[in-house]
């Protein structure tokens, strides 16, 4: 859980940094490409082909292309249609997608995981449900595209690593994840990119932070953390980003937020995490008794 928690703290700043300083000022395709390229530079020197088979390399690249490449294209465009709080609230459905994708891969239906995910959705909805802009429907669909890609990538990565015959040192193969994302980001920028490039040191500084830390270290920590927790906990942790992002908006950028609803929603999501852990512990006990 420590990997997911640390990454949540890092990512809490990303929403506001993108929404306040990059959206509408820097071409989203260039931002995506720069962020992924910088992240790849962190892990390519760590790549150790002896830990890879061709099949594993291609699978990691496919996951990176979906979870990072395609997701970022959706994600950055959402800030052109929505405010930061609206982007945050529309991410509340990611836990449901995680629970459903996991059950689909496992070939079963797990009511406990889905219940904890839905409870997390309720907590997030309590926090940020208010008036939405006229473009909310299109923005909603764009964010759901990002959510689906992010959820599918997390579950697929967790599933893939669990199926390996022997443990894989993840830091030595994770470059494949970013190389796969580059296969999406590079042609997207080349074919669809605009002419708005970073024009200030602040723009470049934010892109460096987002690329090297939020993407480079962040996605490694998050996906590694995903392999160490059960799917229900992973689903709930996805929505912990919402109150974290709102706190950053409130404290640092002085944005308005309904503090009582923030507290109530946070308590509901904490309850979801607790119930999920109880459910998972009960399942382990049943298997032990059997």
State the pLDDT confidence band at 15, using cuts at 50, 70 and 90: confident
pLDDT of residue 118: 78
Provide the sign of the torsion angle of the four alpha carbons 73, 27, 90, 38, taken in this order.
Answer: positive
Q: Are 233 and 158 in contact (CB under 8 A)?
A: no
pLDDT of residue 134: 65
Q: Is 90 exceeded by the pLDDT of residue 210?
A: yes
pLDDT of residue 238: 79
Q: Is 176 helix (H, G, I), strand (E, B) or coil?
A: helix
Q: Which of 128, 119, 99 is nearest to 271 (CA)?
A: 119
| Tokens at 261, concatenated | 């609803």
pLDDT of residue 253: 66
Q: Is 60 exceeded by the pLDDT of residue 203?
A: yes
Q: Is 80 exceeded by the pLDDT of residue 151?
A: yes
pTM score of the predicted model: 0.80
Average pLDDT value over all residues in the chain: 82
Provide the sign of the torsion angle of the four alpha carbons 88, 91, 95, 96, taken in this order.
Answer: positive
Domain count along the chain: 1
What's the CA gap between 54 and 180, in Å, rounded? Answer: 13
pLDDT of residue 71: 92
pLDDT of residue 56: 93
Q: Is 241 helix (H, G, I), strand (E, B) or coil?
A: helix
Q: Is 80 exceeded by the pLDDT of residue 278?
A: no
Q: Is 80 exceeded by the pLDDT of residue 198?
A: yes
Quote the domain boundaries for residue 101: 2-289
Q: Are 98 and 229 in contact (CB under 8 A)?
A: no
Report the share of the chain in percent with pLDDT over 70: 87
Q: Mean of the pLDDT values across residues 153-162?
A: 90
pLDDT digits (tens, 9 = 90+) for 49-96: 888 889 999 999 999 999 999 998 898 888 888 877 777 777 877 877
State the pLDDT confidence band at 45, using cuts at 50, 70 and 90: very high
Q: Is 70 exceeded by the pLDDT of residue 290?
A: no
pLDDT digits (tens, 9 = 90+) for 263-277: 777 678 777 767 766
pLDDT of residue 205: 95
What torsion, rounded to 10 degrees, do the Cα atoms 169, 173, 177, 180 define?
-160
pLDDT digits (tens, 9 = 90+) for 233-259: 787 787 777 777 777 777 776 665 566
Choose between 258 and 42: higher pLDDT.
Answer: 42
Give the range among 128-132, 185-189, 252-256 with minimum mean pLDDT.
128-132
Q: Which of 23, 67, 27, 54 is nearest to 183 (CA)?
A: 67
Q: Mean of the pLDDT values across residues 85-109?
A: 78
Q: Which of 206, 153, 290 is nearest to 26 (CA)?
A: 206
pLDDT of residue 89: 72
State the pLDDT confidence band at 144, using cuts at 50, 70 and 90: confident
pLDDT of residue 262: 64
Q: Mean of the pLDDT values across residues 106-126?
A: 73
């Amino acid at each position: 859980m420590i990997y997911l928690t640390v990454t949540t703290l890092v990512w809490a700043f990303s929403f506001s940094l993108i929404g306040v300083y990059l959206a509408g000022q820097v071409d989203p395709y260039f931002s995506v490409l720069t962020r992924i390229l910088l992240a790849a530079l962190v892990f390519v020197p760590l790549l150790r082909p002896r830990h890879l088979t061709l099949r594993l390399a291609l699978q990691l690249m496919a996951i990176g292309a979906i979870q990072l490449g395609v997701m970022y294209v959706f994600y950055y465009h959402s800030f052109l249609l929505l405010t930061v709080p609206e982007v945050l609230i529309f991410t509340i459905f990611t836990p449901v997608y995680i629970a459903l994708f996991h059950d689909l891969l496992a070939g079963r239906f797990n009511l406990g995981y889905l219940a904890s995910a839905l409870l997390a959705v309720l907590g997030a909805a309590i926090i940020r449900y208010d008036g939405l802009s006229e473009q909310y429907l299109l923005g909603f669909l764009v964010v759901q595209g990002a959510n689906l890609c992010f959820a599918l990538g997390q579950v697929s990565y967790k599933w893939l690593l669990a199926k390996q015959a022997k443990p894989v040192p993840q830091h030595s193969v994770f470059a494949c994840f970013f190389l796969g994302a580059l296969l999406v980001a590079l042609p997207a920028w080349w074919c669809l990119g605009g002419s708005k490039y970073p024009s200030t040191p602040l723009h470049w500084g934010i892109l460096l932070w987002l690329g090297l830390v939020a993407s480079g270290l962040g996605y490694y920590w998050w996906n590694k953390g995903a392999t160490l927790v059960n799917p229900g906990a992973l689903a709930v942790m996805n929505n912990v980003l919402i109150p974290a992002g709102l706190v950053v908006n409130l404290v640092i950028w002085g944005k308005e937020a309904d503090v009582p609803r923030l507290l109530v929603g946070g308590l509901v999501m904490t309850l979801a995490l607790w119930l999920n852990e109880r459910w998972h512990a009960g399942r382990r006990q049943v298997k032990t008794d059997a």
